[in-house]
Each structure stands twice: as C-alpha cells, then as structure tokens.
C-alpha cells in the first residue's frame, strides 16, 4: 500500500507526536508499505503566501490556511496514495480513499484546563482550534486517540467514536541502565528531578520552577525556562535520553493537560518514577500506581510529599513503573493494532 503522512512538522522535529509518527512510519516500511511524509514545515511558500500567513498570525484560522496549503501541495503530488494519515486537522483538504486522523489531544479540553490562567481572547483561540479539529474528524474515516482521557472527552461531545491505541514504548531502548551517569556526557547534580517538555501554559512549568526551591531540577526543553533556579539543557541526543532518565531520581510532570505524556511513559520504562497528574495517560496509570499521581497539579506541598514517599520506596515503585509499561505499551502489540486499521 502507498501511505502518506500529512503533518505540521517534519520528522526532524523532536516532539512526542513526531517520535510516534517516526515509529509508525518505520513499522509500516518494515511490513512492505511505501511511506511518504508531507510536512508543512517543508513547504516552499511564495511571497504572497508568506504575507497572508504573517497577516493571519493573530487569528486561529491561520491553521486552516496552513492545512489548505499543505492539502493543495499533497493533492498536486498525489500519485495514487491508498491511505492518508494526518495529524489533527492538517489532512482536512487532502483527498484519498481512506483518511485516518491522529488526534493527539483536544484543543477545547486543553484550553478549558488552563482557563484560570489565560486571557479570554487566548481561550477563544483554543476553542476555534477545537472547532477545526472537530470539522476534520467529520471528514475522516477513522480517528485514533492515545489515552482514555482523550477518548472520553471526544465521546462526551458526541463526536465520531475514536479508536483508542495506547502509544508503544520501545522497552529495549528505554530500560534501566547500570552506571548510566558515567555514560552520559552531561554535568548533572548527584540527585535531581527531571522535567522534559515545552513551556506551553498547560505544561505547568511554573510549578516545576517552584519545586526547585527545595530540590534540584534539571529542565530539558528547547524553550528557555527563564529561571536561574533550574539547570537548563536545551537538547540531548536521542540515544542519550534513556541515560538521562536513568540518572534522574524522579521525572516531574505536573501538567494541567496532556494528550498522553510520552516523557512520563519513557521514564517509567527506564524505571524512573514520575510525578504526574490525572490527564493524558494519567488515568490509566492512576488505576495501577496511584501513589505517583497528584490530585492538584500546582500543589507544591503535595509534590513534596510525593517526592519523599517515592524516594523512600523507590525500588518498589520503579519496578511497578517498568512492569506497567511492559504490560500496557508493548511495541509489537501497538504495531499490530495500527496495521489492522490501516490494512483492513
């Protein structure tokens, strides 16, 4: 089969969605499928398109215009693709016999979770993005989500019934590693909490930085945390990520909202306990390991209690985390589920 991915960013961009797509594309190639990637970030825009995009930068429907440009580019290059797999609304204008939409998260839900800390115009921006997602869902044959939280939200809005497939985690790559610190080319504190992610409002970076008042925090992000309290690392080689997870005492991820939480799952696979919230994959984790789940994302007193408890019981919790991922996020099973919906 000829399969096309339609995405906002090329696979050189390092983020949870891009990691997932790269894994899926590699799996499809191994099973004999022909895979192509069409990314907005790779488009060569003319001057008028650049001017229009610049003029629309304060309007949410700029995203629909980007999807229109990408769709036109794809339709022009389309030489018989059987399936289009798109991220969010980026495949809205693409034409193909079968369209699969990857819904990593719901913008309406994201912006509801941070309504208390953002301006009303920004909140409306999020609602408009959510509207674009919902329009795209209606034009898709299949919608795939990656956590029970997102599935329940989509279902509660009476939208197209999505298929839930939890992300696969390569537990051969992300695993406990002895003497990890000696193999890592970074100068790190002896004991520290690790944060991995962006500084988007729903990531709750403010609470991560507050936690640095009583515990050393290493902050891995392309975005500057703009705080001297944390040790900022802008990037790490992909091959070194398992080592970094292994060096951390705990992964701190007190997000207001997540669609899944890739860093959380990867850390757990390495045996590094996270402190997470009831969002994204947090609902599933809470059923099995409630002691690592926060009730309130910005309660530093509760975070302090969790840190103390986890450090006192780290060996036991570490094994529970590793076993949870091996049991629920097996890459082989993940591949089978995706191949089934793509090939049938």
pLDDT tens string 112-142: 999 999 999 999 999 999 999 999 999 999 9
48-100: per-residue pLDDT in tens? 999 999 999 888 788 889 999 999 999 998 889 999 999 999 999 999 999 99
Note the pLDDT of residue 233.
95
Q: Which helix (H) or strand (E) holds 3?
A: strand 2-7
Cα–Cα distance for residue pair 337/343, rounded to 1 Å: 10
322-337: per-residue pLDDT in tens? 999 999 999 999 999 9
Domains of the chain: 2-168+331-343 (3.40.50.2000), 180-328 (3.40.50.2000)
**Residues with Cβ within 8 Å of residue 212, at least 6 apart in sequence:** 227, 229, 230
Asked whether residue 43 carries a pLDDT value surpassing 90, the answer given is yes
| pLDDT level of residue 17 (50, 70, 90 thresholds) | confident
Q: 49: buried, middle or exposed (CB in 10 Å: 19+, 13-18, 0-12)?
A: middle
Note the pLDDT of residue 13.
62
Asked whether residue 19 carries a pLDDT value surpassing 90, the answer given is no
Cα–Cα distance for residue pair 118/65, rounded to 1 Å: 25
Note the pLDDT of residue 238.
87
Mean pLDDT for 226-241 is 93
Write the CA distances from 44 to 37, 151, 165, integer angstroms.
Answer: 15, 36, 34
Write the CA distances from 322 to 135, 169, 179, 289, 312, integer angstroms.
Answer: 38, 11, 18, 11, 18
Largest CA distance in the chain: 60
Strands of the sheet containing 163-164, edge to edge, are 34-39, 2-7, 83-87, 98-102, 142-145, 163-164
Note the pLDDT of residue 344.
82
Residue 223 carries which DSSP code? S
Indicate the pTM of the whole model. Answer: 0.92
Cα–Cα distance for residue pair 232/251, rounded to 1 Å: 15
Give the pairing type, strands 193-196 and 217-220. Answer: parallel
> Can you tell me whether residue 217 is helix, strand or coil?
strand
Residue 261 carries which DSSP code? -
Name the H helices within 10-96. Answer: 16-30, 47-55, 62-77
Note the pLDDT of residue 14.
62
Asked whether residue 268 carries a pLDDT value surpassing 70, the answer given is yes
């Amino acid at each position: 089969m000829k399969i096309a991915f339609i995405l906002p960013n090329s696979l050189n961009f390092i983020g949870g969605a891009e990691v997932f797509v790269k894994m899926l594309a590699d799996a499809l190639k191994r099973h004999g499928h022909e895979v192509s990637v069409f990314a907005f970030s790779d488009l060569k825009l003319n001057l008028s398109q650049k001017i229009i995009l610049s003029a629309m930068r304060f309007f949410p429907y700029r995203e629909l215009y980007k999807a229109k440009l990408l769709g036109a580019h794809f339709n022009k290059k389309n030489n018989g693709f059987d399936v289009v797999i798109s991220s969010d609304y980026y495949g809205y204008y693409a034409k193909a016999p079968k369209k699969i939409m990857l819904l990593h998260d719901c913008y309406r839900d994201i912006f509801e979770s941070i309504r208390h800390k953002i301006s009303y115009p920004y909140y409306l921006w999020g609602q408009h993005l959510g509207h674009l997602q919902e329009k795209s869902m209606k034009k898709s044959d299949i919608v795939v989500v990656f956590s029970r939280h997102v599935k329940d939200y989509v279902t509660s809005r009476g939208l197209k019934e999505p298929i839930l497939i939890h992300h696969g985690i390569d537990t051969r790559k992300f695993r406990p590693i002895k003497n990890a610190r000696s193999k890592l080319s970074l100068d790190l504190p002896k004991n520290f909490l690790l944060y991995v992610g962006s500084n988007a409002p729903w990531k709750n970076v403010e609470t991560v930085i507050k936690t640095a008042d009583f515990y050393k925090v290493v902050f891995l992000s392309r975005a500057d945390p703009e705080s001297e309290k944390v040790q900022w690392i802008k990037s790490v080689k992909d091959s070194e990520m398992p080592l970094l997870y292994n060096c951390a005492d705990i992964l701190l991820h007190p997000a207001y909202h997540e669609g899944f939480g890739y860093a959380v799952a990867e850390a757990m696979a390495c045996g590094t306990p996270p402190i997470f919230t009831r969002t994204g994959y947090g609902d599933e984790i809470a059923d099995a390991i409630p002691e690592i789940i926060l009730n309130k994302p910005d309660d530093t007193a509760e975070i302090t209690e969790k840190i103390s408890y986890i450090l006192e019981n780290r060996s036991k919790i570490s094994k529970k985390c590793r076993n949870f991922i091996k049991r629920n996020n097996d890459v082989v099973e993940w591949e089978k589920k995706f191949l089934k919906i793509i090939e049938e």
